């Protein structure tokens, strides 16, 4: 996962050097920055808008805003967090259904703090069960026996992509950054402006949904 350059809550030494190069007008430094960050920015943009063209426009606009803000960028926050906020704003403004003015961090926080039923509730005995309190009622066979090609088949990717698109916005952003793009939890918290525990709640719910989608597919008798 080399492409997931680790960036902490503050700018790292490398990032400080990169920023200095950008401010000197070093085109190669900018190309490096664009190549390292455009893939995840595009994924975030795609999660808000309905077409590739529109996502690409949002990413373009985000980079132009980044350039305009570069002189004033304060290195107290990581570049990635800053880019996340910009690209999210650019993409949300393009998606009419999201034209409301609730900041994304607020949206994600509310979503995490909403009480939701346990998605696997029906799979467990009651906590007062005499023999198996809180134990599994039905067992999933496990996926160890499945061939690797089946787990990484393009159909699996298609199912993950479409299930991700249906997740609530906060879960979707956390899942895309953490599990699809491989960000560390600190970086996701800082980009989304949410607490570690809220981030974990969103990630946990999203993973449960995606796991269930894979379970349906992998155990759904579509072997041949």
Partner 1 sequence: MSCRELVALVTEYLDGSMPRPERIRFERHVAVCPPCRAHLEQMRTTIRAAGALTEESISPAARDALLDAFSGWSDG
Question: Binding to partner 1 by residue 8, rule CB under 8 A?
Answer: no
Nearest distance from C-beta of residue 4 to partner 1, angstroms: 9
Kindly tell me which residue out of 14, 113, 118, 216 binds partner 1, with binding defined by CB under 8 A: 118
Q: What's the DSSP call for residue 208?
A: H
Query: Which residues in 14-73 contact partner 1 (CB under 8 A)?
Result: 24-25, 27, 30-31, 34-35, 38-40, 42-43, 46, 56, 59-60, 63-64, 67-68
Kindly tell me which residue out of 143, 165, 195, 222 binds partner 1, with binding defined by CB under 8 A: 143
CB 83 within 8 A of CB 41: yes
Question: Binding to partner 1 by residue 177, rule CB under 8 A?
Answer: no
- Tell me how far the alpha carbon of residue 20 is from its chain's centroid: 29
Nearest distance from C-beta of residue 136 to partner 1, angstroms: 4
Instruction: List all residues 6 or more positions away from 32 whose beta carbon is below 8 Å from its beta carbon.
Output: 18
DSSP-assigned letters across all residues of 27-44: HHHHHHHHHHHHHHHHHH
CB 174 within 8 A of CB 112: no
Specify the residue, 93 or 150, whose C-beta has the smaller distance to partner 1.
150
CB 188 within 8 A of CB 199: yes
Instruction: In whole angstroms, give the CA distance from residue 48 to residue 121.
Output: 30
SS3 assignment, position 91: helix
Question: Binding to partner 1 by residue 165, rule CB under 8 A?
Answer: no
Nearest distance from C-beta of residue 166 to partner 1, angstroms: 15
Instruction: List all residues 6 or more positions away from 102 whose beta carbon is below 8 Å from its beta carbon.
Output: none
Token couple for 41: 């920015």
Question: Binding to partner 1 by residue 204, rule CB under 8 A?
Answer: yes
- Tell me how far the alpha carbon of residue 76 is from its chain's centroid: 23
CB 93 within 8 A of CB 45: no
Token couple for 60: 């373009």
Specify the residue, 59 or 90, whose C-beta has the smaller distance to partner 1.
59
Nearest distance from C-beta of residue 107 to partner 1, angstroms: 21
Nearest distance from C-beta of residue 124 to partner 1, angstroms: 4
Among the residue ranges 6-14, 87-95, 102-110, 142-150, the one whose residues contact partner 1 (CB under 8 A): 142-150
Residues that bind partner 1 (CB under 8 A): 1, 3, 24-25, 27, 30-31, 34-35, 38-40, 42-43, 46, 56, 59-60, 63-64, 67-68, 118, 120, 124, 127, 133-136, 139-144, 151-152, 156-157, 160-161, 175, 179-180, 182, 185, 196, 200, 203-204, 207, 210-211, 214-215
């Amino acid at each position: 996962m080399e492409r997931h350059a680790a960036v902490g809550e503050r700018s790292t030494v490398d990032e400080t050097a990169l920023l200095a190069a950008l401010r000197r007008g070093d085109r190669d430094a900018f190309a490096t920055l664009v190549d390292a960050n455009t893939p995840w920015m595009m994924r975030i943009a795609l999660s808000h808008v309905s077409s590739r063209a529109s996502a690409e426009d949002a990413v373009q606009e985000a980079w132009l805003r980044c350039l305009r803000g570069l002189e004033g960028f304060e290195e107290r926050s990581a570049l990635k967090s800053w880019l996340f906020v910009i690209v999210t704003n650019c993409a949300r403004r393009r998606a009419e259904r999201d034209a409301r003015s609730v900041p994304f961090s607020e949206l994600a926080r509310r979503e995490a703090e909403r009480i939701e039923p346990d998605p696997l509730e029906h799979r467990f005995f009651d906590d007062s069960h005499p023999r198996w309190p809180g134990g599994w009622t039905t067992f999933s066979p496990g996926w160890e026996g499945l061939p690797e090609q089946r787990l990484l088949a393009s159909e699996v990717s298609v199912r993950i992509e479409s299930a991700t698109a249906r997740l609530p916005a906060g879960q979707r952003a956390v899942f895309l950054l953490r599990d699809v793009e491989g960000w560390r939890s600190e970086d996701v918290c800082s980009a989304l402006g949410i607490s570690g525990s809220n981030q974990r709640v969103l990630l946990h719910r999203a993973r449960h949904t995606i796991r269930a989608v894979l379970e349906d597919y992998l155990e759904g008798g579509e072997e041949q």
